[in-house]
Structures are given as C-alpha cells and as structure tokens.
A and B are shown apart, each in its own frame.
Chain A
C-alpha cells in the first residue's frame, strides 16, 4: 500500500510534467500540422535557463519567497521569445514546403539548441544541481507516505497552467482564432484572422508551458544533465507520445495522455521492472495507435475523394 501511494504521488507529478510538455506539441501540431522536434529542447532550455537565472540573481544558496514566481516568469518569457524567434527564422519560410522538410528543419533546430547549450559560454558540458528555490519538506503524511512539498507544487502549478490554457483556448478571442487556424487555415485567413501571428503566439504559449515544465522538472529532480544529453530528448519524446495517445491537436487529450503516461511509467517501474519503463510507454503507444489511429480523444478524418 505504501508503495502504491508513493508511486501514485510520483506518477501524478511526472504525469503533470508530461502533460505540460505535451500541450506544446499538441498546440503546435494543431496550427502547423507537424511534430515540433525541437520542443524537447525548449523544455531543456527551460530547465537550464531557470538554473542560470537563479545563479544570476544570487539565489543559489538560499532564495526569498518570491524567487519561484520570478524565475517562473523569466523562464517562461525567455523560452516564449526564443520559440517565436525560431519560428520566424526557421519554420516560417517553410509554410508551403512538404511537412517532412519542416520536420527535418525542426531536427536541425533541435541539434542547434543542444550543441549550442554545451558550449562553455552557454550552459557548459558539466551536469549541474538545481538549487531548491522553495523550502522542501514533508507537507503531510498519508497512510505512511510523506508527501513532499515539491510534488504538491508541481501538480498544483502544472494543473493551474493547464486550466489557464484551457480557458484561453476555449474562452478567449485568441483561443478562437487558434482553433479556427487549426480547423482550416485558409478559411481562417479569409475571415480576417492573422494566421502568421496566431502561429507565432501558439509557438510562444506552447514553449512557455515547456519552460514551466523545465523549471518544475529541475526543482523536483534536482540534477540537470548537459543539454545534448539523450535524457532530455527521451523525456520530450514521451511527452509527445502522451500528446499522440491523447489525440494530437486535442488540448484535454494531451493532459490526459500525459497523466496516463506518467502512471504507466511509474507503476510499470514499481511493479514490473524499472528498466523497461520506456518500453511500456512505446508498447502502449503502438497498441493505442493500432486500435484507434487518431488517439484516445481524437476524431478520425475521412479523406474526401
């Protein structure tokens, strides 16, 4: 029972992170119909830039109470701007090109970010430990399981951001424009929507969420591997799997998929074998796609002939 509960807490925290990252994949896929391969690198930069800002602000060895919100806003803002710049420079010229090209470009961007990150003038090749910005402690004990403050923070903050996004997509003019572009880009532009602007903003929002996930990841797990390390890509990849399982392009599906993957991975690791956790994720992915290619919450599209 203790293991079960402990795993539950871990799974929920990890699942929330996956959900946050998955939202970025899903949003971008919604408006541009391509896998933004560089999204996992934005997540990585979100984590590293949080570390960097913490150092610059002198909070490495003890941070004030307002440190977390400040770093959060800085990291989200930085990654949003970075992503918009990337979109303008690398993706925008390819609006009319085959999707495969955009995908390769995204891989190029990904390689660029990873290898720029390891430069000694940037983040360097050494792994780092993220200083804890919050006073981590056991908040409460539930059936013998001490629930850490960080876990609660991760789940609550991630949940809040998801709700915020949900509200934005379904309740604001911007959200409506995003959905219009996602539904039919040409019609959207005929109806006076500035498609390019919507795409840029979508990139920015998705990347801000990834940055938040990066910061939360750093706080929860502490250690930051160098930027070209495969763990980042693998984390991003699993978040993408979450988006696909949930039905890519579907905001709620991404969150549900993220939580699902988190649970799958953590319970698989706890009860089956910890070494095969990536295998569970991909096996379930393949299974879901074979049964329902459009994902759990996605709608099937029939090609009009």
Chain B
C-alpha cells in the first residue's frame, strides 16, 4: 500500500479559507490526497472539519483558495458537477432519501453515470432497459458489500442507525468516485460495529480504487488505519503527518488529546 500513497495526487486543496460572518470556520487549509490514500482529518467539535468537506464538495464556496480533482479545477462548480467529476461524500448528520427504499437510495446515486436520457426512459428503449438492469445489479452488489442487501426493499428511514451510515457509504460509492469523503462514519456505533466498519473502509479503499478522506472522532481508529493525518483546531491546521508524529505533537496534545471531554463526546451525534 505504501506504493499507492506516493502516486499521483487526486485531490489538492490549496489555502482554503471560509468565514461565516465573523467566525473563521476554516483558515488557510491545504491538503494533498494521493491515489489510493487513506487520510484522516481530526480535531475537536467545531474545528471546521465538516466545513472543509462542504468546501471540497461545493456546498460552500471558499473565500480564498483553490481545489483540484486531478488536474480539474473545481472552484465554482456545483456539488453535482463535482460528483460527476469523481467526488463523493457521506454526511455527519445522515441525509438519506428517507421515504425511498434502501435500493432506490443507491440506484439514485448510480444515475450520475447513466447515459440514457428521459426519452429513453419514457419509451423504455432497449438501451434504457439494459442500463436500468445494470443499475439495479450494481446497486445490489454495493448493498451486498456493505452488508445491508437484506434490507434492500425497506424504507431508508426505517433502518437502524448503523445501517443508515452504511447506506450512506454505499450510496456514495454508487457514484463511482475517485475520492470518498467520510464524515464520522462510526459515530454512534458500538465497539463491534466500529471494528467491522474499520475493515470495511480498508476493504473499500482497495476494491474501489478510491482515495479516502476520513473525519473521525475515534482517535484509535484514525491512528490505526490512516496513512496521513491532519489536525484542525478553530479552523487552522495545527499539525499534519503520520500517526506517530501526531501522537507526540505537543500542540495536538494541548488542543485535542489533552481535552478528554472532547474524546468522550464522540458518540453524541449532531453536537458538532
């Protein structure tokens, strides 16, 4: 895996800044994610992690800075265009299509790569039918991978919490991304589930040849699986490097590890 990490950069963020009114949510944030990398983004609640995801995916436009996916400049593009370009994400506060079935959640996301248009769908042309079957087949495979195929026909909103997080990942993968942004994928899970999710993330990275950027409060998990970790506090990057360096960085210990309250709040969803 170490060979993969030294390959081409797929995602580059340069000097991103964003303020909400007077609050500097993100200041001068830079990051390079290489093909096949698994990087971590950590920091206390309100540090600006989710805001960085929102900047990368185009929910917010940065006040300053640039974002590249491969060689393509993403600034100014809408989230949908970035998804087409190969950027996928999950949401910390789960945002599934609640009334739709689990399968349809994934099929919707598969639609990004669909070629046949509205006319094909209304006439039910052979091309459309072939694609629709392929969409269903691929969606079922994705649900299988995430271990929720058995619930394919249930409503998404009726899933237990952990499965909702899994479905978010399946849905993101359905867009065939180059970069996968996971926002606290194990929040609210018990130790056993976390363990399973950890292997799943590592598996996904290999099977889908996707670079992963992971926001997570669970320090153990991040330290164990990430090749590279960036630590944020109050919007600024206070440390970046491999796990061992981060663990011993005094600034990090001060800002994050030194505050056991933050670590304890990992399970509380919706706080950040």
Q: For B68, what are the chain A residues with a Cβ–Cβ distance below 8 Å?
A: none
Give the contacts of B233-272 with A (CB-CB under 8 A).
Answer: none
The minimal Cβ–Cβ distance linking B97 to chain A, given in whole angstroms, is 16
Q: What are 5 A-B contacts with C-beta separation under 8 Å?
A: A302-B20, A305-B50, A305-B54, A305-B59, A305-B91
Hey, which chain A residues are within 8 Å of B54, CB to CB?
305
User: C-beta contact mask, B38-67 vs A, less than 8 Å → 1, else 0?
Assistant: 000000000000100010000100000000
Number of interface residues of B (CB under 8 A): 5
Interface of A is mostly: loop
Within the assembled complex, what's the spacing in Å between the Cα atoms of A302 and B91? 17
Q: Which residue of the partner chain A has the closest CB to B92?
A: A305
Using Cβ atoms and an 8 Å threshold, which residues of chain A touch B91?
305
Who on chain A is nearest to B91 by CB? A305
| A305–B20 alpha-carbon span in the complex (Å) | 13
Q: Which chain A residues border B50 with CB–CB below 8 Å?
A: 305
Residues of B within 8 A of A (CB): 20, 50, 54, 59, 91
A305 to B50, CA, bound (A): 8
Chain B nearest CB: distance from A100 CB in Å? 14
* Chain B residues within an 8 Å CB radius of A305: 50, 54, 59, 91
The docked-state distance in angstroms from the alpha carbon of A302 to that of B20 is: 10
Q: How far is the CA of A244 from the CA of B20 in the complex (A)?
A: 26
Mask for A264-305, Cβ within 8 A of B = 1, else 0? Answer: 000000000000000000000000000000000000001001
Closest A residue to B54 using CB positions: A305
How many Å lie between the Cα of A288 and that of B231 in the bound state? 45
Instruction: Report the bound CA distance from A305 to B52 in whole Å.
Output: 11
Contacts of A302 in B (CB 8 A): 20
CB proximity of B95 to chain A, nearest CB, Å: 8
Complex Cα–Cα for A302 and B25 (A): 15
A239 to chain B, nearest CB (A): 33
List of A residues within 8 angstroms of B20 by Cβ:
302
Q: What distance in Å separates the Cβ of B105 from its nearest Cβ neighbour in chain A?
A: 18
Q: In the complex, A302 Cα to B51 Cα: how many Å? A: 13
Q: How far is the CA of A305 from the CA of B54 in the complex (A)?
A: 8
Q: Report the minimum CB–CB distance from B181 to chain A (whole Å).
A: 12
- Beta-carbon contacts of A48-62 to B below 8 Å, as 1s and 0s? 000000000000000
A305 to B59, CA, bound (A): 8
Write the nearest CB–CB distance from A184 to chain B, whole angstroms.
15
- How far is A302 from B50 in the complex, measured between Cα atoms in Å? 15
> Bound complex: CA of A302 vs CA of B59, how far in Å?
11
How far does the alpha carbon of A46 sit from the alpha carbon of B242 in the complex, in Å? 73
